Chain A
Amino acid sequence: MDETISLKIIVEKIEVQNPLHAKKLKENIRTLDSNYQHWAKSFLQKTEKFLKKTNVSLDDCITFYLKKVNDSIFEMVNFFQTGKYRYNSFDEVNKRVYSDPDVMRYNMLSLLLSQVLWKQHYIIFDFFKKHISEYVESKSYLEIGGGHGLFINEAAKLFNTSCNFELLDISETSIEIAKSFIDKKNITYYHMDIFEFSSKRLFDFISMGEVLEHVEKPKDLLKKVKSLLKPEGVFFITVPTNAPDIDHIYLFNNSEEIRTLLKESGFKIDYEIEVSTEKISVDDAHKRKICVIYAAFLSF
């Protein structure tokens, strides 16, 4: 498979169904550097194997992805009109999204494509890769809300082989997808709510990507994470601002709200990055209530 062509093919297939979105993707891809091209090549190879293993065609995956894009547009229209997310109850979202295998399957598979097609997802993953090498001596790694498993898969490639990896997700479907995507075999998976999780030992490294906006009380979740982390441990987090979605219930209006919450929860910011999801500055995005992804490596 020629992976560069595959990226081209994906965008071409999207263009047939949604020319407007294809226009954005072409701009995204054009603005990213050669490192992106190199990474996209290997990611698409892995994705192709994953799709074959899970009996999902590329066309189906693109259909899921475009449904996700459309859901996002629909939620953004409502958000621009009301200034609020449509949903605010965890129980409701849990029942309608996390506990529904069909919804989670489309959600996870669409996120897989967004990882290679959305500029912000690539930049955040690149930020993770850039700094994760500092923590390769970690003996224990916990991922909360692992999604398709891309981040823990990367850490598992770089960390010492003696490191113990654990992944927790509230969705059984998400865990099944992660098991198929992640290369490392000896990972412990937990299908449960993080608030019900307990561990006899504390972790050196905890990663939690785009989970904080899924809970009603993010401060309680940060308190839970802190209780699971060693005093010298490191916590990697990503959080979107102004990101209406089918399962987002807590609205962060800007990065400063996230920083303040992290600091109030006892964390110190070691490294951070903000990425605008549109071709406008982060400040402009905050002012116009457009999504920005915030990511940080934290310690106590």
Chain B
Amino acid sequence: MNIQEIISQLTPIFTEVLDVENLTLTPQIQADDIEEWDSLSHIQLIVAIEKHFNLKFTSLEIQGWKNVQDICSTILNKE
């Protein structure tokens, strides 16, 4: 997978968890860009992403996430 393929899989996850329609994810998007992306929905996002990609993030991995790019990079590194 590449970043774009991961983003295309993350988009429906973000759409469902954040309950936002017509969401266009880009690598640079961060929580400040989406009102519904808050501390609570962030945890729900992690749970949903782990389930979808069938993986478990470590504490250290989630610590560095600042934007969509960081999430994608972590998923890529776990392949």
Contacts and interface: CB of A to CB of B under 8 A. Distances in A.
Interface stretch (B1-9, B19-27, B39-47): B39-47
B43 A21 contact: no
Interface residues of B, number: 21
Contacts of A80: 43-44, 47
Nearest to A21: B39
A278 B39 contact: yes
| Interface residues of chain A: helix, strand, loop or mixed (majority) | helix
Nearest to A278: B40
A74 B37 contact: no
Contacts of A280: 40
A266 to B, nearest CB: 37
B46 A73 contact: yes
Interface string B29-62: 0111000011110111011001000000111001
B39 A20 contact: yes
30 contacts: A18-B66, A19-B30, A19-B31, A19-B32, A19-B66, A19-B67, A20-B30, A20-B31, A20-B38, A20-B39, A20-B42, A20-B65, A21-B39, A23-B31, A23-B32, A23-B38, A24-B39, A67-B63, A71-B59, A73-B42, A73-B43, A76-B43, A77-B46, A80-B43, A80-B44, A80-B47, A81-B47, A279-B38, A280-B40, A290-B40
